[in-house]
Structure 1
Amino acid sequence: MKVLKFGGTSVANTENIQLVKNIVQQEAAHHKLCVVVSALGGVTDLLLDSAFLASQQQETYQKTFNLIEKKHLEVVKKLIPIQQQSTVMSFLKQELNTLETLLDGAFLIGETTPKLLDKVLGYGELLSSKIIHSYFTAEGISCSYKDSRQLIKTNTQFGKALVDFELTQQNLTQQLKEKANQVSLFPGFVASSVSGDSTTLGRGGSDYTAAILAAALNAEVLEIWTDVSGMFTANPKLVKQAIAIEEISYQEAMELSHFGAKVIYPPTIQPVLEKEIPIHIKNTFLPKEKGTVITKNTNGKNRPVRGISHIENISLLSLEGPGMVGIPGISKRFFEVLSVNNISVVLITQASSEHSICIAVDSKDAVKAKEMLDQSFAYEISLKRIHPVFVENDQAIIALVGDNMKNHQGLSGKMFSALGKNNVNIRVIAQGASERNISAVIKKEDVKKALNTLHERFFEENVKQLNLFVMGVGNVGAKFLNQIQQQKKFLKENLKLNVRIIALSNSRKMYFQEGGISLQKWEESLSQGEKADKQLFFEKIKKINLRNSIFVDNTANKLIADTYAQYLKNSISVVTCNKIASSSAYENYAELKQLSRDYNAPFLFETNVGAGLPIIDTLKNLIASGDKITKIQAVLSGSLNFVFNNFDEDREFVNVVKQAQAEGYTEPDPKIDLSGIDVMRKILILARESGYQLELDHIQNKSFLPEECLKTKNAEDFFKSLETHKAHFNQLFESAQQNNSRLKYVAQFDNGKASVGLEEIPAAHPFYNLDGKDNIVLFYTERYVDQPLIIKGAGAGAEVTASGIFADIIRIGNY
């Protein structure tokens, strides 16, 4: 004997009911079956709405009733041959007439009682089961109809009646003595009291009906057929990477279902647990998939965490005050008030100091719970010994569940660390003595991010998803995107990093795709985006609220640099090649570094100095290891090095600068490079990273440009002024030639003072043979005294700058 239950989605329409029929036919070829069905999809809600409207004396209840009638009649007409419709049509019309009479009564008296509501809501299953029985019979299935109300007996707690298992067992045993068809069909959800009044088993009660039958009939298995392929490691609608759990224990399933896993109704498990009857969760629409088997014991494949679940729409209620300490009976009074008012407590935590009690309840009960508790403790509140109950709304509970959790140390730490790194604030923590569940209350808005963060941490073989929001897709940005696309597979297979581009923006357009932008056609996607807005860009990132979010700034825009603080304050990491923020006022630089520490959000700017060269990273490692920087000598402008390496007696200075701009070695405004401002910013950043509080105007700038060049307002005028003063630049070159030297733009930092300027470098100096666009940095430290630590290599160009940004992304991934 098998018991099969089909939920509302499985019988939502004629097409789905046909799938149910196919499953039943296949199963009936090998087993006797008890089949339990829910109401047609959406009908229970329509019944509830019609009863509410009637009780409010709103005549629109009749329209809702008409929808219910129409839905059932249409299903009959589509499913059952016309010559076989008369019996079921007669039954439907009779029952619908009775239902309409009940609703009319509620309209006339302006209220519904729990008893009346149970009668009304039960019609969903009664009507659907009769239709499906008639359809099965018409299709040649040997099927008998059993009215659950005659077999399952309860008390008179209308709305969620308690089953009289002894009497129910007697009734079902008597049924077994009778010759049964191959298939027996039962309406779920409905039952009746000993006196014969219709009762219901609570929302989700069709599962419960099936479990009661399975236990009473000693079934070999209870199959729950639904619209998903079993219980998942997390809600697959919120966590795309969630996978079905093949096998799970009764206790784990109860914990997951209690904390929001809606595949199975929590009370379902209890009747079958006592008889150790397995429950098999199957997918009506994908019947060949394995689904989930719930049994007494599973090894869990040694996974400590079997699933992650959550409940939304939670409110926290806190009672606290000095008058609670050492006073017996406070907790009793507290929970007694809630019990008397039929308010269910989802989670409890109490301070060991006895100073406070905090509970989580369904948000719909929060107002009533506060009112009743404040009344109960009114005397203590009036004396200010206890504070009025404090309510926090818009909360949610997330829970890690697993039988093997108790055998693994550090799970709580891993859970809270993962959430903390992603700015998910934990309001309340609870862990049962069985150590099968670790629960935390968080903001409702953080649920999706929290679930994905924890799923990644405990189920995805340590593959870490990085979600990138990229501002600037010019030379550097485009190269960066190409590198991401090229290395995506390598990163996932070798570094366990799944890098996704969620948003792109240039100065005109911005485009968001929460599932990840295809990098094969990102330009087309961006062109179809909305108008660019830097503040709206941030607001959208904040609203999407993804884990491991990284803002990537590939611009040289001050307005963009000014937004870094708001990203860091929301635990969104920042990676940038934009030097403006780190070379701004020291107070701002220090604030960004502090925000990075406070909100656990890396702020990385390796490409600010030396493009892709590991200059800042090396400097950080020196400082972290206890070394101290005493002196820095460097050629830090790849563009200026390119210019002076290619400038000679055969080429005009202005043409070399234009070539450097065309090849992407200079900033969009080349005056920034040639004026020395860019190099000043770089040596300033190195000095600050070395631990010195230096401002930009503290740096001596020995500019080689004539005053007229420095005063130009745009690139066109700047190039004209370079041409006008070509004799000046030729003289610089000739002087170096005469002294057997080469021109290099040098930055120095020594004993807290910094300077930049063009110098004639003699042949014996390490800078002399620095070719092309290369940079070089000499670090003199307390450890590197006579021979400096030298870093040398390409220090300009879109490709190497993009690779430096890429390297910072990987650093965050390994963080």
Structure 2
Amino acid sequence: MKVLKFGGTSVANANNIELVKNIVKNSKNKTAVVVSAFGGVTDLLLNAAELASTHNKEYKNVFLKIEERHISTIKELIPVSNQSKVLSKVKSELNILETLLEGAFFIGEITPKLSDKIVSYGELLSSYIISEYFIAEGLNASYKDSRELLKTNTNYGKAAIYNFEETNSLIQNYFNNNNNQITVLGGFIASSIKGDSTTLGRGGSDYTAAIIAAAVDAKSLEIWTDVSGMYTANPKLVKQAKAIENISYQEAMELSHFGAKVLYPPTIQPVLSKGIPIAIKNTFNPDAIGTTITKNLDKNGKTVRGISHIENISLISLEGSGMVGIPGISKRFFEVLSLAQISIVLITQASSEHSICVAIDANDVALAEEAINNEFEYEISLKKIKPVLVENDLAIIALVGDSMKNHQGLSGKMFSTLGKNNVNIRVIAQGSSERNISAVIDKADVKKALNSLHEKFFEENIKQLNLFIMGVGNVGSKLLHQIKQQKKYLKENLKLNVRVIGISNSRTMFFDEDGISLKNWESLLSKGEKANKEQFFSKVNSLNYRNSIFVDNTASEVVSNTYADYLSNSISVVTCNKIACSSVYTNYSRLKYLAQKYNAPFLFETNVGAGLPIIDTLKHLIASGDKILKIQAVLSGSLNFVFNNFSNKTTFHDIVKQAQEEGYTEPDPKIDLSGIDVARKILILARESGYKLDIDEITNKSFLPEESLQTTNNNDFFASLIKFEPSFQEMYTEAANKDAKLKYVAQFEDGKASVGLQHIPKGHDFYNLEGSDNIVLFFTERYPNQPLIIKGAGAGADVTASGIFADIIRIGNF
């Protein structure tokens, strides 16, 4: 015999009940089908009772909703020829329910006994209607009132079976003498010794099914719900959570106790001793494997089987010097809670007995506080014990797994993971078996905590990138900010965990093997060791982390000379430093070769156009078989900014100074204004196009006077700009007289490259180029007349950092 239980969502409407029928009719064994009330009906019944007890006539409208739900479901499910009998029975029961609600309205109160009577109608009506539907559909089915089988005490609202021998005997006798293949029963409901209706507490339908399964020694107990089993964490909060295929009774009990709502905690108890397996299945996806709960431990499973949590928790703490060494304090504390029928979820106590702390449901906190303060009123008056301390808005998270006891360091891993994610732990509880490790945290941190722990213990598909960043000035600091800002997004959407392990500027360097905190990296770096490029490389190499990436944000030739060392040790390189790729061709080609040989990507998108995808686009053109015929480009965002803002109403000196202050130029602006920076960029594009070219082969038509080019520091350079202001004004006037604009243009054609200032007429693609934007025109065999154009912001720390970041992510996706 099998026992199948269907929850409220599974029987929420006629369409869902039809799915239930399709599942049940495929059962080849004698089957007991335990059903909950139609989805939402129990809440409606409780609401109606509450309104009636406060003399609120609105209860009548709620009753009409209840009536309409059941009548309309009958009409949708059952053929007209069979409806009369069912409608008559249901309306008769609804009349009694209406009378009970009227009674609550007239007396102005609702007792637990009356509440149970009212609430029981949810399961009474649903089970009867479903049984009649099964019969109408040709199934060999019958209906049985669960109140005739399950006998409880009179603890209304959460009754317990008072005599299992009698209950088991009633169940066995019924099924032994019932010849129908399918019996439909209402879950959750029972009756007291006196015959009054009782309920087993919310979630009690699971318990009903388990009691029946144990009594008849069922082959299996199937819990059909709206999810495909028990999950490694709440799938509503943790998107990467997965169904657990096999789990032990003990693990399932722990997970259900700590908030896994798919299974009501007491459900396991009746079937545990008899070893009856429990299957958690999805009514809406019956072919899904689901979860099977058995005695046997899955030895091949993970150490941590699941992460669960309970929300709406409060902490109650009793403390004081008068507790130390005084016998009976703990007894009195727990006894007063027991008498108040308050369930304790978690307990922790200092070894000195100076304090006792328990976690309870937040709904019970006011009652608990009053009861404990009354119990210890005398000690409180003498100031030997402090009044109860209450902390609200908390939650409990718990790691669960039978095998956890055999593995060291799980607690440390759990708490360090929470700590690194800034989740404050209020209380810790752990049994000696280590089957459950629990912590109380702020309720607001639940989602963050669950996701952090799930990633640590379950998400093996997360790819971790370890960054070693040299240069944390304008560009480097922006990059660190962007990484910090996007860290969560990358984990959740791209499955990338980006960690910064080492950082360095020209003065100091700092490493943290667990990842540098990007909240206070400046202070950490200031306390670091003296910067040394060789030692920096040695440290990176000795750590030997997978997916290591060296990021160069400097303009240093010395740093660029270390790239070969990194690539030769399978350490990827991402750089905005143009020196390496514009150095002698043999060095450029060697770096490309090493990257390929050692499977270490060498990416330098930001060498040309900051964050614009210029090099990447060019690579795709070449890889797809296209050939570059000509490149025309404005490649200096700083020079474009300068000439867009320079006029006869400004001075050249002031505009260049502004460009430097706003981060558009290199620290030495002469690098930009001399044209060498643009020459390097067109050289790199030529090389990426497949041409062997060196920097001295590029024609550079500099507009700067020779005296300016020969300066050795920024002060002298800016002084020279003031001196030659008339010549700069002359350049502007000449262009203006031609109704043209000054643009510094790079060009490559027929294997030759040049850079220089040009007069751009109206109508040209470069004429309306604004601000610090860059533009590149690729003329290719596929785009011979109408070029492929890439245009956008080509200077600035933010866009350069974003280009570096994009290269890092690109490596992560390799």
Do these two structures clear the TM 0.5 threshold for a shared fold by scoring above it? Answer: yes
Residue of structure 2 in register with 1:46 after alignment: 44
Report deviation, 1:314. 0.7
Residue of structure 2 in register with 1:102 after alignment: 100
> Contact 2:660/2:667 (CA < 8 Å) preserved in 1?
no
Residue of structure 2 in register with 1:230 after alignment: 229
Change (3 A) 1:664 1:76: farther
Deviations 1:240-297 (CA, angstroms, capped at 9, x unpaired): 1111111100000000000000111111100000111000111111111111110011
Deviations 1:3-37 (CA, angstroms, capped at 9, x unpaired): 0001100000000000000111111xx21101111
Deviations 1:729-757 (CA, angstroms, capped at 9, x unpaired): xxxxxxxxxxxxxxxxxxxxxxxxxxxxx
> Contact 2:152/2:192 (CA < 8 Å) preserved in 1?
yes
Change (3 A) 1:313 1:718: farther
Deviations 1:72-112 (CA, angstroms, capped at 9, x unpaired): 00000100011101111111111111111111111111111
Report deviation, 1:434. 2.2
Residue of structure 2 in register with 1:555 after alignment: none
Residue of structure 1 in register with 2:22 after alignment: 22
> Contact 1:313/1:394 (CA < 8 Å) preserved in 2?
yes
Deviations 1:173-206 (CA, angstroms, capped at 9, x unpaired): 2213314201111111111112211111111111
Change (3 A) 1:638 1:158: same
Change (3 A) 1:171 1:592: farther
What is the CA–CA distance in structure 1 between the aligned matches of 2:323 and 2:142, rounded to whole Å? 61
Change (3 A) 1:337 1:710: farther
Matches within 5 A, 1:307-326: 307-326=306-325
* From 74, 91, 107, the counterpart of 2:72: 74
Change (3 A) 1:458 1:617: farther
> Are 1:181 and 2:180 counterparts?
yes
Residue of structure 1 in register with 2:447 after alignment: 448
Deviations 1:554-576 (CA, angstroms, capped at 9, x unpaired): xxxxxxxxxxxxxxxxx996499
> Contact 1:550/1:573 (CA < 8 Å) preserved in 2?
no
Residue of structure 2 in register with 1:425 after alignment: 424
What is the CA–CA distance in structure 2 between the aligned matches of 1:197 and 1:218, rounded to whole Å? 28
What is the CA–CA distance in structure 1 between the aligned matches of 2:352 and 2:395, rounded to whole Å? 26
Report deviation, 1:671. 2.7
Matches within 5 A, 1:164-179: 164-179=163-178
Change (3 A) 1:659 1:175: closer
Report deviation, 1:352. 1.4
Q: Which amino acid aligns with 2:717?
A: L
Report deviation, 1:614. 6.4
Partner secondary structure for residue 367 of structure 1:
helix
Deviations 1:494-518 (CA, angstroms, capped at 9, x unpaired): xxxxx87849xxxxxxxxxx9759x
> Contact 1:675/1:705 (CA < 8 Å) preserved in 2?
no
Residue of structure 1 in register with 2:10 after alignment: 10
Report deviation, 1:114. 0.7
* From 689, 703, 706, the counterpart of 2:715: 703
What is the CA–CA distance in structure 2 between the aligned matches of 1:291 and 1:435, rounded to whole Å? 26
Partner secondary structure for residue 26 of structure 1:
coil
TM-score under structure 1 normalisation?
A: 0.65
> Are 1:609 and 2:554 counterparts?
yes
Partner secondary structure for residue 390 of structure 2:
strand
What is the CA–CA distance in structure 2 between the aligned matches of 1:320 and 1:48, rounded to whole Å? 39
Residue of structure 2 in register with 1:661 after alignment: 637
Residue of structure 2 in register with 1:286 after alignment: 285
Residue of structure 1 in register with 2:87 after alignment: 89
What is the CA–CA distance in structure 1 between the aligned matches of 2:425 and 2:360, rounded to whole Å? 17
What is the CA–CA distance in structure 2 between the aligned matches of 1:351 and 1:811, rounded to whole Å? 50
What is the CA–CA distance in structure 1 between the aligned matches of 2:307 and 2:315, rounded to whole Å? 21
**Could you list the runs of 5+ residues in structure 1 that have no partner in the other structure?**
467-474, 485-498, 504-513, 518-545, 552-570, 594-603, 622-635, 643-656, 683-699, 725-794
Partner secondary structure for residue 11 of structure 1:
coil
Partner secondary structure for residue 225 of structure 1:
strand
Report deviation, 1:322. 1.1
What is the CA–CA distance in structure 1 between the aligned matches of 2:395 and 2:479, rounded to whole Å? 38
What is the CA–CA distance in structure 1 between the aligned matches of 2:115 and 2:727, rounded to whole Å? 83
Partner secondary structure for residue 273 of structure 2:
helix
What is the CA–CA distance in structure 1 between the aligned matches of 2:175 and 2:205, rounded to whole Å? 21
Q: Which amino acid aligns with 1:13?
A: N
Residue of structure 2 in register with 1:403 after alignment: 402
Report deviation, 1:705. 3.5
What is the CA–CA distance in structure 2 between the aligned matches of 1:175 and 1:426, rounded to whole Å? 52
Change (3 A) 1:41 1:380: same
Matches within 5 A, 1:251-290: 251-290=250-289
> Are 1:131 and 2:129 counterparts?
yes
Report deviation, 1:377. 1.4
Residue of structure 1 in register with 2:368 after alignment: 369
> Are 1:121 and 2:124 counterparts?
no
Report deviation, 1:704. 2.2
What is the CA–CA distance in structure 2 between the aligned matches of 1:667 and 1:362, rounded to whole Å? 69
Q: Which amino acid aligns with 2:18?
A: Q
Change (3 A) 1:233 1:588: closer
Partner secondary structure for residue 85 of structure 1:
helix
> Contact 1:313/1:444 (CA < 8 Å) preserved in 2?
yes
Report deviation, 1:335. 0.9
> Contact 1:311/1:396 (CA < 8 Å) preserved in 2?
yes
> Contact 2:462/2:496 (CA < 8 Å) preserved in 1?
no
Report deviation, 1:660. 3.2
What is the CA–CA distance in structure 2 between the aligned matches of 1:247 and 1:182, rounded to whole Å? 29
Report deviation, 1:129. 0.5
Matches within 5 A, 1:173-572: 173-461=172-460, 463=462, 502=489, 516=493
Report deviation, 1:606. 6.4
> Contact 1:396/1:443 (CA < 8 Å) preserved in 2?
yes
What is the CA–CA distance in structure 2 between the aligned matches of 1:385 and 1:617, rounded to whole Å? 69
How many residue pairs match? The answer is 593
Q: Quote the sequence identity (%).
A: 58
What is the CA–CA distance in structure 2 between the aligned matches of 1:257 and 1:189, rounded to whole Å? 17
Q: Which amino acid aligns with 2:3?
A: V
> Contact 1:36/1:209 (CA < 8 Å) preserved in 2?
yes
What is the CA–CA distance in structure 2 between the aligned matches of 1:337 and 1:318, rounded to whole Å? 14
What is the CA–CA distance in structure 2 between the aligned matches of 1:160 and 1:681, rounded to whole Å? 78
Change (3 A) 1:375 1:812: farther
Change (3 A) 1:223 1:723: same
Change (3 A) 1:177 1:404: same
> Are 1:147 and 2:123 counterparts?
no
TM-score under structure 2 normalisation?
A: 0.65
Deviations 1:753-789 (CA, angstroms, capped at 9, x unpaired): xxxxxxxxxxxxxxxxxxxxxxxxxxxxxxxxxxxxx
What is the CA–CA distance in structure 2 between the aligned matches of 1:442 and 1:614, rounded to whole Å? 46
Report deviation, 1:342. 1.0
Change (3 A) 1:797 1:251: closer
Q: Which range moved further: 437-446 or 606-615? A: 606-615
Change (3 A) 1:168 1:575: closer
**Could you list the runs of 5+ residues in structure 2 that have no partner in the other structure?**
466-473, 501-514, 530-548, 567-575, 583-632, 645-654, 670-711, 734-794
Q: Which range moved further: 172-181 or 354-363? A: 172-181
Q: Which range moved further: 802-811 or 405-414? A: 802-811
Report deviation, 1:410. 0.5
